[in-house]
Amino acid sequence: MTPSSHPSLYVAPSLAHALDALAERGAGGAPLAGGTWIMRAPLRHEAMSPAYVGLGRVAELGRVEVHDDHVVIGAGVTHARLAEALRDVPDLQGLATAAGRSANPAVRRAATVGGNLSTAGFAAADLVPALLCLEAEVDIASRAGVQRLTLEAFLAARDTLEPGRLLTQIRVPRSAARSAHARLPLRKAGDYPVAILSIAVTRDGSGHVARVRVAVGSVEPVARLWPALEAALTGAPLDARSAERAAADLAEDFNGRDGIDAPGWYRVAVLPALARRAVAALL
């Protein structure tokens, strides 16, 4: 990249200014918060955007609000900040674990929740499965207003969102469920997991599973729920070995992605062990 081709940077003082700047730059502009993915674009042989809109000074994007029935997470909140904010929130410990163990300390201090969810090329994002199993919703803002989507809908649409739209916050409902997050990093994968499994479980008075959500990340290009395993666990006692056996029987639901860190078959093969670990953490 030559000096003349360096991208420009506009640091927005408010959300309104950021939305205006993104709209005016159209497809040639991109939001910049933690920058942990963007700044490594040359290493991936990817072109950087010609212009970036810095979001670090937009105060409302950096807030975490813990309410009795829900939690609001600004898109500019770092992983480290999120882990600290949720440390004593019992029903969201899976999300706290995902934020507190992702990547490495340096990345956790810089990487943001919004960047983790919005980066379509990053399959190993820890927060995506953790938020999927908690039924999170996201707010997408533009000059025209705010649209709220389920996280599932956002993941399906994020590659096709019109320029000028920005993920501003994540809303996570609170409930009687308890959650856990299990990940498997390998030495050659660096700080990122080759497979992730997140789970949220509500049990009845007898200890049986009344409701469960299971999400898998890093195995396929996009994280998703695992309905077949959810159905297999519902109504039964919560047991780590039983969850492992059920996951082994159903692992063919996934078509693992091949990568330099691990082959696709291996990502699928470790899912039963991750299911056992996640359930054991709940117990």
Burial of 240 (0-12, 13-18, 19+ CB in 10 A): middle
In this structure, which amino acid lies at residue 272?
P
Cα 167 to chain centroid, rounded:
13
Q: Identify which of 167, 195, 176 has the alpha carbon closest to the alpha carbon of residue 251.
A: 195
Q: What is the tens place of the pLDDT at every residue in 49-72?
A: 999 999 999 999 999 999 999 999
Listed as own residue / partner, the contacts of 249-255 with beta carbons closer than 8 Å and 24 or more positions apart are 250/226, 253/226, 253/228, 253/229, 254/216, 254/219, 254/220, 255/220
C-beta of residue 168 within 8 angstroms of C-beta of residue 61: yes
Q: What pLDDT was estimated at residue 189? A: 59
Percent of residues, the chain, with pLDDT higher than 70: 97
3-state secondary structure of 54: strand
- State the virtual CA torsion across 72, 78, 79, 83 in degrees, nearest 10: -60
pLDDT of residue 45: 81
Please write the tens of the pLDDT for every residue from 9-55: 999 999 999 999 999 998 888 998 888 877 777 777 888 899 999 99
Structure-token pair, residue 226:
């695992």
Tally the C-alpha atoms within 13 A of residue 117's C-alpha that lie toward its C-beta. Answer: 37
Please tell me the distance from the alpha carbon of residue 209 to that of residue 226, in angstroms, as a whole number. Answer: 16
Please, what are the domains in the chain? Answer: 3-54 (3.30.43.10), 60-173 (3.30.465.10), 179-282 (3.30.390.50)
- Please tell me the distance from the alpha carbon of residue 240 to that of residue 71, in angstroms, as a whole number: 29
The answer to whether residues 65 and 71 touch, using CB atoms and an 8 Å cutoff, is yes
197-227: pLDDT as tens digits: 999 999 999 999 999 999 999 999 999 999 9
Going by the DSSP 8-state scheme, the letter that residue 127 receives in this structure is H
- Measured CA to CA in angstroms, residue 22 lies from 124, 152, 248 at distances of 27, 24, 46
pLDDT average, residue stretch 230-236:
98
